[in-house]
Amino acid sequence: MTTPQIEAFLEMMAVERAASPHTLAAYGRDLADAEGGVAGGLMGADEAAVEAWYAGLGARGLSPATQARRRAAVRQFYRFALGEGWRSDDPSRRLDAPKQGRSLPKSLSRDEIERLLTAAAARDGAAGLRLVALVELAYASGLRVSELLALKAEAVRRDPAYLIVRGKGGKERLAPLNASAREATKAWLGARDAARKPETPDSPWLFPSPAGRGHLTPRRFAQLLDRAAVDAGIDPARISPHVLRHAFATHLLEGGADLRVVQTLLGHADIGTTQIYTHVATDRLTRTVREKHPLARDG
């Protein structure tokens, strides 16, 4: 359920704060939920009504992360409403953030990455070359899936050693490409260009949609990864486009990379977001010592 006030808030987020379409969609869903769930609606609610709605989120089975995001959306909306003079109070001011346990990102071992690439390469023709290029680029550079799929063909035609990527908030950063990723990209470009019919206008995207409009979707990429995972003997539930980004960060830290460097490569504004990968790397190293060191074994 949307109101003129919610629409005005979303417009402000888009224009003044350069919020991405994904962020705007999430805020829109969260505020629509609050508008329909708070007695009196957002503009007519008092503190008790807002707190009752918020308390019910956990009972509905929503995760702490989702509850926290909805709390943030409602609090930002009310701050905006105060600034616009629509309300003289903030009924969300006493909402406490839900307690969240440490959620470690999924990752893959180096061996699993190799098996995934082998399975991708086993696919016939251009489909295999495309999937190898997708996996190599994601793993070599730590790109977000939205950044990867939005790459333009012209950006890689001169075989660059790095890409200039526009990430969240419109911020630019350098994304490195190793030799393996560059070779995979060149092979895919050759197949991509050869498959295009002369009478058909060339798509600007590095990974165009087979339908001929736009680029490959995140959902389709995820489906292709699932199939490759099965062929590689890996549980598909452990793999997604985002997991390749996690593997990039985890393996860098395992190799001794500086945390600040990894933060820059990932495009994280807050180093606290990057620090979660140190736990993944440390947990894996601890497990390796426990399982492989002779004095750590039982009996």
Residues forming the active site: 144, 168, 242, 245, 268, 277
Sign of CA dihedral 256, 258, 262, 268: positive
Residue partners of 3: CB distance under 8 A and separation at least 6: 35, 41, 42, 43
- Say how far apart CA 274 and CA 52 lie, in whole Å: 34
Bridge partners of 174, per DSSP, are 164
Whether 94 and 71 have beta carbons less than 8 Å apart is answered as no
Q: Where are the beta strands (DSSP E) in the chain?
A: 162-166, 172-176
Chain centroid to Cα 257, Å, comes to: 22
Residue partners of 104: CB distance under 8 A and separation at least 6: 276, 279, 280, 283
Bridge partners of 175, per DSSP, are 163
Phi and psi dihedrals of 123, rounded to 5? -70, 150
